[in-house]
Amino acid sequence: MDGPAMVTQCGIPPGESHTYIYKLEQTGTFWIHGHDHHQNSDGLRTPLVVYDREYPPYEYTDDILFSVEDWYLEEFEERAKQTLDPSLPFPPPHGYGFGLIDGYNGNDTKPLHFEPGNTYRLRFVNMGALTTFQFTLPGHRMRVVEIDGVYTEPTEVDGLNIAPAQRYSVLIDAQKNMQFNYQYNITMYAEFLPHRQGLSPRVYMGDVIYDKNAPRKTIRSDAGRSHFRFADDITLAALDGEPAMPVDRNLEFSIGNNVYSTGQHLDHFNNITYAQPLVPTLYTALTMGKLAMDERVYGPQTHAVVLNHMEVVEITIHNPNTMPHPLHLHGHVFQVVEYGLAKAFFPIPDAFKDIPTVRYTGSCPSKRDTMLIPSMHYIKVRLRADNPGVWIFHCHLDIHHAMGMAMTFVEAPDVLQRTQRVPPRMVEFCRKLGFPVEGNAAGNSALDFTGLPTPPTIVARSPASTGRALTGRD
């Protein structure tokens, strides 16, 4: 159970508490956040670092954590209404959030204190609801060594673009003397927001101090130039050396936005817009016997896909939109094996027609749990179904998740029924909240979905998204 409401459990009722106990089998950089009513957007979030019990595979002098996040003037519920209320104009007006670094206004970002000759591990966690953060440190050598809790072969880069939910670790070599101080740059931006001086992008600078009396050496960042190297999934390699897994099954999805019979503009995977069931999907998997292998029992809007135990699945996601999407999968890391030009039911804009097909080039592909799919791209990833459970797969732009860009993988329900049970306290929580704890998505038997809302139908297919998104007012 990892927290998503009505996926693996009912929410924790007001005034109650619950203790999660995890067996830590993976080191690295993570974060904890609320997964009910998009509470993480309103601040229910914090970094989590799992340190190596013995020695990490790389040597460094100190370990420094940067958590970055966006912050808005209104709570998420108010901002969501601007997008989901069919009586209001769509898309909503542009707005611009503020950047927080380690919980403080980005303008108050902390200095780094470096000593000559040392190597520092900098960890980055983007806990934001919408925006990407870019990190550069001109004048210093930087190597990526971890992404999303998975060690990588050291790969030299000039900067990082960190999408919501993504994490990175880099090793940075200090200068060999104390002659100058330097500055690092953390820029908060979103490709779909129009440029507005001081608001989009927001640029935050921090000092790198070798000697408080030394002058600052200003080095122009080349981040906008063609030779500048940002970390790229397809050029990174997992340190464990696992080659690309042979594929047992292929799944293909397209994401986007449509106008539905509710009058709302909703997001989707393959035209299915996600809605929560009346029974947590995990509980359905545990209580429906052999029918748990039938995807239909999970309801028409959970978009459940049943995976067989230990099969290797290649998932292709097409993003025929002018907005990038960070898609996060719970319960797994996946191998990133290919990018290319997305398929679309409308003409691809000329600016995107030359997107090349790019495959991993190293001895083994990188692994991570959050993929950023660029505008008008597809991405192929592979995973082995070796973790029986129910795992939600969703866009980590929180408003898109709220608009229905989510689906579930029901993994090995036959194995689940032999090996797991729901803790009594979690059953009690559901009953306190008025939710059934067994049966199909509606709490009924077989394929009787009486009580579930009727799924909306598509009224109009949206062409390539204009890239406008809810962010809140200035």
Cα–Cα dist 331/409, whole Å: 10
Pairing of strands 389-395, 406-411: antiparallel
**Neighbouring C-beta atoms of residue 451, cutoff 10 Å:** 11
Give the DSSP letter of residue 399: H
Is the bond preceding residue 201 a cis peptide, omega within 30 degrees?
Answer: yes
**Start-end of H helices in 39-111:** 76-84
User: Which residue from 167, 133, 128, 135 is spatially nearest to 150, judged by alpha carbons?
Assistant: 167
- Tell me if the bond preceding 91 is cis, omega within 30° of 0: yes
Pairwise CA distance, residues 306 & 272, whole Å: 16
Q: What local confidence, expressed as pLDDT, does residue 118 receive?
A: 98
Query: Checking DSSP bridges between strand 334-341 and strand 119-126, what pairing results, if any?
Result: unpaired
Tell me how far apart the alpha carbons of residues 314 and 252 are, in angstroms, rounded to a whole number.
8
10 Å Cβ neighbour count for 93? 11
In degrees, rounded to 5, the angle at the alpha carbon of residue 321 between the alpha carbons of residues 319 and 326 is: 55
DSSP state letter for 298: G
Backbone φ, ψ for residue 101 (5° rounding): -125, 115
Contacts of 264 (CB under 8 A, 6+ apart): 84, 86, 403, 456
Length of the chain: 474
**DSSP of 174-202:** PPSSSS-BEEEEEEEE-TTSPPBTTTBSE
Using DSSP's 3-state secondary structure scheme, residue 111 falls into: coil
- 92/79 Cα distance (integer angstroms): 9
Q: In angstroms, rounded to a whole number, what is the distance separating the alpha carbons of residues 456 and 264?
A: 10
pLDDT on residue 95? 72
Token digits of residue 72 = 């808005």
SS3 433: helix
Q: Is 386 helix (H, G, I), strand (E, B) or coil?
A: coil
pLDDT by residue (tens digit) across 387-408? Answer: 999 999 999 999 999 999 999 9
State how far the Cα of 268 lies from the Cα of 464, in Å rounded to an integer.
13
Question: How many helices (DSSP H) and strands (DSSP E) are in the chain?
Answer: 5, 27
Whole-number Å distance between alpha carbons of 267 and 269: 7
pLDDT of 348 above 90: no
Residue range 117-143, pLDDT digits in tens: 999 999 999 999 999 999 999 999 999
Strands, DSSP E only, in 19-114? 28-33, 45-50, 62-71, 98-101, 104-105, 112-113
Question: pLDDT tens digits, residue range 285-334?
Answer: 999 999 999 999 999 999 999 999 999 999 999 999 989 999 999 999 99
Q: Which residue has the tokens 């067996």?
A: 23
Task: Check: CB of residue 337 under 8 Å from CB of residue 381.
Answer: yes
Which of 112-121, 144-153, 222-231, 415-424 comes out lowest in average pLDDT?
222-231
Q: What is the pLDDT of residue 298?
A: 98
Question: Residue 463 forms beta bridges with which residues?
Answer: none
Q: Tell me the β-bridge partners of 147.
A: 150, 168
Structure tokens belonging to residue 368: 């991570």
Residue with tokens 């030394």: 214
Beta carbons of 298 and 444 less than 8 angstroms apart: no
| Angle, CA 66 vertex, CA 63 and CA 68 arms, to 5° | 165
pLDDT band, very low/low/confident/very high, at 461 (cuts 50, 70, 90): confident
Q: How many Cβ atoms sit within 10 Å of the Cβ of residue 90? A: 16
Give the whole-angstrom CA distance, residue 325 versus residue 374. Answer: 7
Q: Which helix (H) or strand (E) holds 459?
A: strand 458-461
Q: How confident is the model at residue 466 (pLDDT cuts 50, 70, 90)?
A: very low
Cβ atoms 32, 4 nearer than 8 A = no
Say whether 313 sits in a helix, a strand or coil: strand
Report whether pLDDT(338) > 50: yes
Average pLDDT over residues 440-450: 98
Please give the average per-residue pLDDT across 142-162, as a whole number.
97
